[in-house]
A and B are shown apart, each in its own frame.
Chain A
Amino acid sequence: MFTKLKSLLNNNEVRAIVFQILAVVVIAYFAYQAFDNLMLNIEQRGIRSGFGFLNDEAGFAVNDNFFLDYSPASTNLQAFYVGIVNTLIVAITGIFFASVLGLIVGISRLSSNYLIRKIATVYIEIFRNIPILLQILFWYSIALSTFPSPKNSINFFDSIFLNSRGLYLPKPIMESGFFFVLASLVIGIVAYIFIKKRSNKKHDETGVVTNTTVYFLGLVLLLPSVVYFAFGVQLEYPMLKGFNFRGGVDLSIEFFSLAFALSIYTATYIAEAIRSGIESVDSGQKEAASAMGLTQTQSLRLVVLPQALRVAIPPIINQYLNLTKNSSLAAAVGYTELVTIFSGTVLNVVGQAIEIIILTMLVYLTISLVISLILNIFNKKMQIKGK
């Protein structure tokens, strides 16, 4: 019996497993002890603990709220949700514009046109080397001082207004068929993608090119418009009443300044990633493309970029993550995202730093993991195609 155990312990594989299990147990026990100790200390110091505070009334107002139901009478949990949504919205907006701008600037850096190339280089050098916090504050103060006061708002067709406090848009009223318009738009887009795919396939097989523009116009633009008029969707227009605009949707100037600064800053890194991606593509590929009669744009779009992105995507993933984390600098300009609302105001009202920081970290961790996951899937797809 004992010798059997001994020989088992001498078996390398078994030993490795046993040690790993032991290590995990020790670490888990250690973490448990540390946490227990922490909670005990907190209790002894008379600090409230637990997650009960989430159901308490929040009691404060939030400036940016895109579509959730929130008022000072809502709970801290609802405030938490508003924070998450606001973080996501500014991150997604930033990622979108940073990608578009980064792609354009990255390609421009390798342009044969001297002026375009230089402008792209200067832009990257300037905005990459100034700390992001300063840029956020800079754009915020520019926005505050350039846009007019609410009374002198820039007016687009009496339905959209822009002033130094934000952008005010008409708000569709949900009940009155808005859903159907949205649904028809989605159906239109899906149908168009399907048709486009079929035409691509036909092109691959027979070389016949079909023009799909008509389908695009019909499905993506015409169909929802018809539904829109059929249902007579109601819009709530923003109106200047007293000090500010009321009604409609408003996007605060803080949101714009933050999203703008994040896009401008992150685009420089994305541009550099794109550039190095393009440079990594063997010049023979471009030569072959032009020998086959592809135009410059075609060669870029069909030959160079797909291969360049393969190299560029991993660093771009990092930039997306950085942008999301940088969005927590919002507190400086008062955009109400997760950190401002939750680890700022709620933490100060209820004072439970540990619980609140843990929840905040979990949200960022989840967002980061999801972004990595999506882009890794995309990355894998690109890799196989290239080989």
Chain B
Amino acid sequence: MNQLLKLSAVSLITIGSFSVQAGIFHSDTLKDVQAKGSLTCGVSTGTPGFSSPDSSGHWSGIDVDVCRAVAAATLGDAMKVKFVPLTAKERFVALSSGEIDMLSRNTTWTHTRDTSLGLTFAGVNYYDGQGFMVKKALGVNSVKELDGASFCIQAGTTTELNLADYFRSNKMEFKAVTYDTSAQTKGGFEADRCDALTSDVSQLAGLRSTLKDPSSAVVLGDVISKEPLGPVVRKDDNTWLNIVRWSLNAMIEAEELGVTSATIDDASTSPGIQRLQGKSGKLNESLGLSKDWSRNIIAQVGNYGESFERNIGMSTPIQLPRGVNQLWLKGGILYAPAFR
């Protein structure tokens, strides 16, 4: 009888504590990150120019730079990032389960992802669209000529859905061979399992540059969807959302102000630049960050244009033009809300 009492008491306590946990869930990612001393950032398993590791394990790319910007803002050190490579299928669960603090992995901002996964998009760091890469030997010049073709695609992407939509609305037939990682997708294309590989245009350029024989494939001119790619955070932490959003905005704002990593510490009389330098204004307070947060981002990571040119610009093997990802002042659609 005694034992039974003990047992019941223990189970009641357990149940009790369980129910207490169900109270309002509130998380403080900033505090967690600062306590850990590093930012855990979800990236791709390897997308040249966006997020890919070099042979010594050093990550780079424009998605990686967003992680680094957030680390610079919150920890004062852009190098204090732990990268977690994720396939398209794994990424959202990794974020909502708390395995990573933020996701910066060529992820398209869609209605469903923004509203029903318990996640929120913090902005757009690259405006993309879905394109096609085909074997040159096929002699195909447009997607319209691909009726009945097979496509290598990656599971868990918007690519899967856009492809089906496009062929349905054009009353064309197709076959999809769906792999888990981009390496497998590329492998299927190289082994001629499919006639074309389809993905975000920006990634096609990178993938093509890593083919055994890049000249054997061409990227078609057609773009069949819009893919605004950006960083994602959990919905339950508004401060953290603001930190990630404004870290990205700081990079865009700096380019607009003509401030680079080389000139951020130069004395300036411009109120805008002074705010970015942390010399005036109180933009840091509502974010819970130190005054030099945006200065650290620009000094350690650079402005958006620097990051772009360094990772995917014309001087890199990816050779992407700025296109719509140019500042709004220069004919593009890149636009940071007012920095004041």
Contacts and interface: CB of A to CB of B under 8 A. Distances in A.
A40 B193 CA distance: 46
A63 B155 CA distance: 12
A41 B174 CA distance: 41
B22 A40 contact: yes
A6 to B, nearest CB: 11
The range of chain A's interface size is: 35 or more
B147 A242 contact: yes
Interface in B13-62: 14-15, 18-19, 21-22, 24-25
A61 B175 contact: yes
B211 interface: no
Given A246-B148, A351-B112, A59 B165 contact: yes
Contact of A45 (B7, B115, B234): B234
B80 interface: no
Contact of B192 (A63, A144, A333): A144
Nearest to B234: A45
A129 interface: no
Interface string A335-350: 0100010001101111
Contacts of B184: 332, 334
Nearest to A343: B89
Contact of B112 (A33, A40, A242, A349): A349
A62 B117 CA distance: 24
A9 B249 CA distance: 72
Interface residues of B, number: 56
A159 to B, nearest CB: 20
Nearest to A30: B15
A11 to B, nearest CB: 14
B25 A45 contact: yes
B22 A26 contact: no
A340 B92 contact: no
Contacts of B96: 45, 47
Interface of B: 4, 7-8, 11, 14-15, 18-19, 21-22, 24-25, 88-89, 92-93, 96, 112-113, 115-118, 138, 146-150, 155-157, 160-161, 163-165, 168, 173-180, 184, 187-188, 191-193, 195, 234-236
13 contacts: A30-B15, A44-B236, A45-B96, A45-B118, A63-B175, A144-B188, A242-B149, A243-B138, A243-B148, A252-B177, A345-B155, A345-B178, A348-B92
Given A348-B88, A351-B92, 14 more contacts: A26-B11, A33-B18, A36-B22, A37-B21, A37-B22, A60-B161, A63-B175, A141-B191, A164-B192, A243-B138, A332-B180, A333-B179, A344-B155, A345-B156
